[in-house]
Structure 1
Amino acid sequence: MDDAVIDIWVGNHGEVSVSHRLSLDWLNFLLADLRGGLGPYVNVFLLTDVGWDQATIGALLTVSGLIGIAFHAPIGALIDATRAKRALIVGGAWALATLGAAIATVPTLAVVFVADVSMALLGAVFAPTIAAITVGMFGPRGIARQLGRNAAYDRIGNVFIAALAALIGTHFGQRGVFYMLPLFAGLATIAALSIPASAIDHQLARGLEGPSRDRGGPYAWRRLFAERPFAVLAIGAALFHFANAPMLALASQKLALEAKGFETAVTSAAIIVAQLATIPMAFLVMRANLIGGKWLLTLAFAAVPLRGILFALVDDPYWMIGFQLLDGVGAGLFDVLLPLILYGAVRGSGRYNMARGIIGTIQGIGGASSYVFAGSLVVWAGYSVAFAVLSAVGLVALILMVMAMPETVPRIQAGQAAGGQGVRTFPPDRSC
């Protein structure tokens, strides 16, 4: 990867119109509504309404997840290569709406399995494509600020859909949550098509800039694994998601079993608390050039073992809902940081979205494999033991980040940020 000096601009994004930025804001908000309309609600719906047990749910999520995430890297390569990024968003939105209706209408093993595999594939489409569109619109000079803004609207959307789902699920039954999705798919289509295709620089969107862009193409994807930040981030992401992925599902199950008749409401409460915490995290990422990407990454990784231990030690439903604040600090902050830190790690490669897909596959394997592991632990030893073991894995991931992960986000001085001045910083050490 080229080690040339890079420029970071912390002023306004004058080249992007206000209307285009608002369209991107609405797109983030509405896609959050689509994803939030499924997510943990499927888990709770299958447990409390259909009557599946925790081990069966965990096994299904693991198998379907592993099948789906095998395609993350190819989907990332597709996002790098295609100029039809808006079409990926629109097609995925309608597919997700259809899948939600299928689960609610025919919740058989075959239908849920096919839907889960498809949702795993769509998980590799939405966030990376939005990040690619963002980079293509704003370039490396505006990526930190805009990714934070994207995340803020995404989290606000999650809070909105959680509150709406609680209302609809309580008054009309859990199936009503899934029948809302076509409305949000239609609105997301309008938002996506409101961003002109000409507003996206597809070369920048794949991380192709500087000398690599002048040479006319990306370098071989295998070279990504020789980059120290990419390699460390990949291992850390696998451990992070192994520890974190089942926690909300297990907490939702535990809460639902303690609150008969209010399953959707308590699940929504847990989600709302976490999403409220992610909103200030998104604003922190907007200032990552001032704070430091590694410091923020360490904060995200530290929240996972702390959350697991608290869930293991405390059974009170109100406290458990409160502990979801740490999910916002952990998974919420990590999700916002990942595209920014990864961009610095593979900058100039032309493989940005494929790198995102590879990371998605690696962290997906970690997360999906932990569902059956955690579900089996619950059946064998109870929720407290499961949370304690997951917390220990999270601690290992935290130590790895502190000891081995270099800084990939260029730093600026506070005075320079306030004055909107450009600064020049050297990229981090990328040697393995």
Structure 2
Amino acid sequence: MANEQTTPTDRRFHPRSLDALNFLLADVRGALGPFLNVFLVTERHWSQSSVGLVTAISGLLGLVAQTPVGALIDSTRAKRALIVAALALLAVGAIAIYAWPSFWPVMIANTGIALVGDVFGPAVSALTLGLFARGQLARRLGRNSAFDHAGNVAIAAFAGLVGWLLSQRAVFLLVPVCALAGSLATLSIPASAIDHDRARGGDDGGHTHSSGLGVLLTCRPLLVYAFCAMLFHFANAPLLPLVGQKLAAAHKDLATAMMSACIIAAQLIMLPIALAVGRFADRIGRKPILLAGFAILPVRAVLYTLSDAPGWLIGVQLLDGIGAGIFGAITPLVIADLMRGTGRYNVAQGAVATIQGAGASISGLAAGVVVDHFGYATACLGAGAAAAVALLALIVAMPETASRGDDVPGPRH
């Protein structure tokens, strides 16, 4: 987007710095993620319940920091330093998993990774609000998401190659390399280019009402969206690891490569979806796009139960590119709509992330127990039921959030 302009606080800033940051942060996170679950099950011979326990405990402890981290990002001017520090700690955690892949070291490292992972999404969204005017926000957030997905494709392909040529364990050593590159991209954004008032949810021109934290509980659409996001992630989070484990059980030598294929298949779809969300969110509104994204998930969960063939499973995973792609691209925009002028944008992001993360963390343990006792098909159908409830709640209770200042009118509160 060559015509993309920033507020002229510092002409040294170039949008490609933010592009690179989104791309590289995806690389850092993508070199862990589902690869850890597959590694623990296939190489270390952990039970599904043990993997689910680690995922649930580390995830739930990480959730404690979500909202405080959002408040810190709202208040601090050292947003770049926060990202760099989080990258350094995440690299240390990945190295610890590589060096000591037994229960307690993995539990401690994974918990640390969950804690510092709270920083990236809200901090990048805050930087975006502080660097771009409101009229450019939908397209810029869509572009952020597109580069995030491009990074996921790149790291999944590279991780698959490393896992095939070397070992699944060697994949974790990609994290410190990507973390260093991500730190350099972060520091390439001049601190003076960031409007810190707008970065925490102020209107263009610096009009911020400095609302209390009670705004999180009195904004009904925010509560509805948080509930829907929780159910969406409860349903979505375990599906890819479950599919990866099914593929690994049948084709152990190709476990990492097949997991990479699943990730790449979805991410290649997410990239154009994110750009489309950025293009159309101001034209047709947020809710129609959200409904399309939420409707895909229950269908995908059911389709997983129809066949165990690798081609089928990877093909169904393409649908994740639509559902998760829409959710990831539009969530920062919906929260920006609801928190405009309150000065509580990043706190709200943290609160929603906490609630959706709780759903994702609990689902890891729940899915592991269900698989151990009833099988993969039952776990997928349970996820589909939760996704259907989320869709119904969105239809009934979630209003359009685009305000009258955008192309599509609609209430915010």
TM-score by length of 1: 0.91
The Cα of 1:13 is off from its aligned counterpart by 2.0
**2:108 aligned partner:** 114
Does structure 1 residue 263 correspond to structure 2 residue 255?
A: yes
2:198–2:204 Cα contact (<8 Å) kept: no
**1:362 aligned partner:** 355
Amino acid at match of 2:411: D
Does structure 1 residue 146 correspond to structure 2 residue 128?
A: no
Does structure 1 residue 249 correspond to structure 2 residue 223?
A: no
**2:266 aligned partner:** 274
The Cα of 1:409 is off from its aligned counterpart by 2.5
CA deviation vs aligned residue, 1:280-310 (integer Å, no higher than 9, x gap): 1111121111132111111111111011000
1:344–1:427 Cα contact (<8 Å) kept: no
Counterpart CA distance in 2 for 1:312 and 1:222 is 43
Counterpart CA distance in 1 for 2:319 and 2:197 is 37
**Alignment equivalent of 1:228, drawn from 220, 237, 256:** 220
1:228–1:430 Cα contact (<8 Å) kept: no
Counterpart CA distance in 2 for 1:119 and 1:304 is 27
The Cα of 1:410 is off from its aligned counterpart by 4.4
**1:75 aligned partner:** 69
1:148–1:283 Cα contact (<8 Å) kept: yes
Amino acid at match of 2:339: V
Amino acid at match of 2:172: F
CA deviation vs aligned residue, 1:91-113 (integer Å, no higher than 9, x gap): 11121111111101101211111
Counterpart CA distance in 2 for 1:310 and 1:303 is 11
CA deviation vs aligned residue, 1:344-402 (integer Å, no higher than 9, x gap): 01111110000000001111111111111111110111000110011011001001111
1:289–1:410 Cα contact (<8 Å) kept: no
Counterpart CA distance in 2 for 1:373 and 1:75 is 27
Identity within the alignment, %: 47
Counterpart CA distance in 1 for 2:199 and 2:333 is 13
CA deviation vs aligned residue, 1:316-370 (integer Å, no higher than 9, x gap): 1111011111111112220111100111011111100000000011111111111
Does structure 1 residue 349 correspond to structure 2 residue 342?
A: yes
**1:329 aligned partner:** 322
Counterpart CA distance in 2 for 1:392 and 1:27 is 36
Amino acid at match of 2:356: Q
**2:199 aligned partner:** 205
Counterpart CA distance in 1 for 2:12 and 2:222 is 34
CA deviation vs aligned residue, 1:143-197 (integer Å, no higher than 9, x gap): 1111111111111111011111111110111121111222211111111111000
Counterpart CA distance in 2 for 1:354 and 1:208 is 13
Cα 1:179–1:220 shift into 2, 3 Å = same
Counterpart CA distance in 2 for 1:101 and 1:228 is 43
Amino acid at match of 1:249: P
Counterpart CA distance in 2 for 1:157 and 1:203 is 29
Q: Give unpaired runs (5+ residues) of structure 1.
A: 1-10, 412-422
2:282–2:408 Cα contact (<8 Å) kept: no
Deviates more, 1:161-170 or 1:115-124: 115-124
Cα 1:388–1:15 shift into 2, 3 Å = same
1:311–1:384 Cα contact (<8 Å) kept: yes
Q: Give unpaired runs (5+ residues) of structure 2.
A: none
Number of aligned positions between the proteins: 408
Cα 1:426–1:37 shift into 2, 3 Å = closer
Counterpart CA distance in 1 for 2:118 and 2:329 is 15
**2:331 aligned partner:** 338
What is the aligned-residue RMSD (CA, Å)? 1.7
Secondary structure class of the residue paired with 1:315: coil
Counterpart CA distance in 1 for 2:87 and 2:409 is 37
Secondary structure class of the residue paired with 1:207: coil
Amino acid at match of 2:265: V
2:209–2:341 Cα contact (<8 Å) kept: no
**1:429 aligned partner:** 411
The Cα of 1:123 is off from its aligned counterpart by 2.4
Counterpart CA distance in 2 for 1:250 and 1:188 is 30
Does structure 1 residue 105 correspond to structure 2 residue 99?
A: yes
**Alignment equivalent of 2:282, drawn from 289, 294, 302:** 289
Does structure 1 residue 238 correspond to structure 2 residue 230?
A: yes
Counterpart CA distance in 1 for 2:407 and 2:268 is 34
Counterpart CA distance in 2 for 1:118 and 1:427 is 42
The Cα of 1:19 is off from its aligned counterpart by 5.1
Amino acid at match of 1:307: R
1:137–1:199 Cα contact (<8 Å) kept: yes
**1:181 aligned partner:** 175
Secondary structure class of the residue paired with 2:214: helix
Secondary structure class of the residue paired with 1:348: coil
Cα 1:210–1:264 shift into 2, 3 Å = closer
**1:26 aligned partner:** 20
Secondary structure class of the residue paired with 1:125: helix
Counterpart CA distance in 2 for 1:156 and 1:55 is 32
Alignment of 1:158-197 (within 5 A): 158-197=152-191
**1:404 aligned partner:** 397
**1:65 aligned partner:** 59
Does structure 1 residue 218 correspond to structure 2 residue 210?
A: yes
The Cα of 1:406 is off from its aligned counterpart by 0.9
The Cα of 1:223 is off from its aligned counterpart by 2.0
Counterpart CA distance in 2 for 1:15 and 1:219 is 25
Deviates more, 1:290-299 or 1:80-89: 290-299
**2:87 aligned partner:** 93
